[in-house]
Amino acid sequence: MLNKSEMPFDVAKAAKYLSQWQDLCANDGGKLWGTSLHTPFVIVDEKTRDVAANQDGFGNKFPNELAIGTTAIKHRGQFWAMAGWSHVAGYESDADRLQMFVHEAFHALQPSLFGGEIDDMGDNSHLNEVSARVLFLVEMNALLAAVGSDGDSKERLKAAHAALAARAQRRAEYGGMGEAIAELMEGTADYTQFMIAAPDAYLAHLEKQNALLPRKETLARSFGYTSGAMYCYALDAFGIDWKHGLSWDSDLGMVLSDAIGTATEPPCLDDYGYSHFLEEAKEQQADRDRRLQAIMDAFATRPLLRCSLESDRAGLNAFIQVAGLGEIRRGIVQYNGLFGEMIVNGGELEKALHGEGEYDFLEHKDGYCAVFADDICINGNVINGSYWKLTLHKGYAVVADGKDYVIVHHPA
């Protein structure tokens, strides 16, 4: 039996899902953000590139030069929300699917709400440093106490000031414009998906995400979903009118700080787990250092297939930053280039090293990507590895280059 995510593309079902989302938008009527959440939305079958959309714009096929993913894209001057069919069909419930639709639709609206496009959320790798990580975890613990507490307003305000103090201490040491942009980018989208599609589940979601934060190996990419959504919730909880006049230069933490004022006495960060998080983070860092060395050794000694990073890729999720190498990512990756298409079903490197994990796709700092090619099999224009498949366009070939392999172009 096929998994839901493997179901053949069903245009009628895709249209039904889009209709359900449009009903949600109509129910909101522009109340949440002062504008309709109804945006151009396209669902794309990853296998055939067939499309279902709520308006014209792509015809019957999604362009080959565009990567397929669950995100927002700009096509012919217009912002679209997009979702891959395997992602859409894979949901167990309509409610969860609708949350995803709202999230991606809001990404398509953000340029008009926040003053244009934003391509780079900056370098937030400092959140992998022990001090920054600890202060972030304290900030989230305190902020959750402020919004989820049944205590009196004085205790809630005390917790909010502690969160802002931890934030200010981290920002003073590391800066934070990249943090603020990531919170706006993903936090407001999460906020919108819950307020529109599941308002009663919002606080429970924040509590669950906060509990998961200390267990995450890296916070640098994913933190904005939780912290941004937490600040949006807090701003509502304190009765602050905050959504008007936001831009990519805004800082949700500063908006809260300006509204509630300064603390009357210095907050005690230990009340929100500082000492516990510090000891835990030191142990995690030692383990992380050992793992990073093993990863660096693997990419230095094992044969790789290298290709340029001049094209679109979709599906890249978590990553580890490795000094001298670049970013090592995990998950299923679809990589479309002039040379053809590569599908990476991640998982081999970390499984081999530690029995778990999925880090095995390198985006090198020098501008190329690489996968392991220990057991490469070249069969015409189809090249397979143990966890990836490369299909080359006409005129391209894979050749040996020392211990590695590269893609070369031989024009006719």
Count of domains for the chain: 3
Q: Indicate if 9 and 108 belong to the same structural domain.
A: yes
Dump the DSSP string for 293-325.
HHHHHHHHHS-EEEEES-SEEE----EEEETTT
Last residue of a domain, one of 114, 135, 164: 114
pTM: 0.80
Cα distances from 400 to residues 150, 308, 378, 394, 406, in angstroms, run: 65, 16, 11, 19, 6
Min mean pLDDT across 182-196, 203-217, 286-300, 397-411 is at 286-300
Query: How does the average pLDDT of the chain come out, rounded?
Result: 87
Last residue of a domain, one of 114, 145, 161: 114
Tokens 């990863």: give the residue. 295
Q: Indicate if 90 and 162 belong to the same structural domain.
A: no
pLDDT band at 354; cut points 50, 70, 90: very low
Q: What are phi and psi of 155, to 5 degrees?
A: -70, -40
The boundaries of the domain holding residue 34 are 4-114
Domain for residue 290, yes or no? no
pLDDT tens-digit series, residues 115-145: 999 876 677 888 988 999 999 999 999 999 9
Q: Indicate if 168 and 78 belong to the same structural domain.
A: no
pLDDT at 176: 77
Residue 322 has pLDDT above 50, yes or no: yes
pLDDT at 216: 86
User: Do residues 43 and 85 make contact, with C-beta atoms less than 8 angstroms apart?
Assistant: yes
Residue 189 has pLDDT above 70, yes or no: yes
- For residue 19, count other CB atoms closer than 10 A to its CB: 10
Helices 223-237 & 130-148 angle (0-180, nearest 10): 30
Q: Indicate if 65 and 211 belong to the same structural domain.
A: no
pLDDT at 347: 52
pLDDT tens-digit series, residues 65-87: 888 888 999 999 999 999 999 88
Handedness of CA 348, 352, 353, 354 (dihedral sign): positive
pLDDT at 4: 52
Last residue of a domain, one of 66, 94, 114: 114
Domain for residue 285, yes or no? no
Which helix (H) or strand (E) segment holds residue 340: the answer is strand 340-345
Q: Indicate if 110 and 178 belong to the same structural domain.
A: no
Domain for residue 275, yes or no? yes
Q: Indicate if 72 and 187 belong to the same structural domain.
A: no
In terms of DSSP H, where are the helices of 84-152?
85-89, 94-114, 130-148
Residue 337 has pLDDT above 80, yes or no: no
Q: Indicate if 162 and 195 belong to the same structural domain.
A: yes
User: Do residues 206 and 233 make contact, with C-beta atoms less than 8 angstroms apart?
Assistant: yes
Which helix (H) or strand (E) segment holds residue 180: the answer is helix 177-182
pLDDT tens-digit series, residues 377-396: 999 999 999 888 899 989 99
pLDDT at 352: 44
State how far the Cα of 307 lies from the Cα of 319, in Å rounded to an integer: 19
pLDDT at 296: 81
pLDDT at 330: 64
Q: Indicate if 135 and 251 belong to the same structural domain.
A: yes
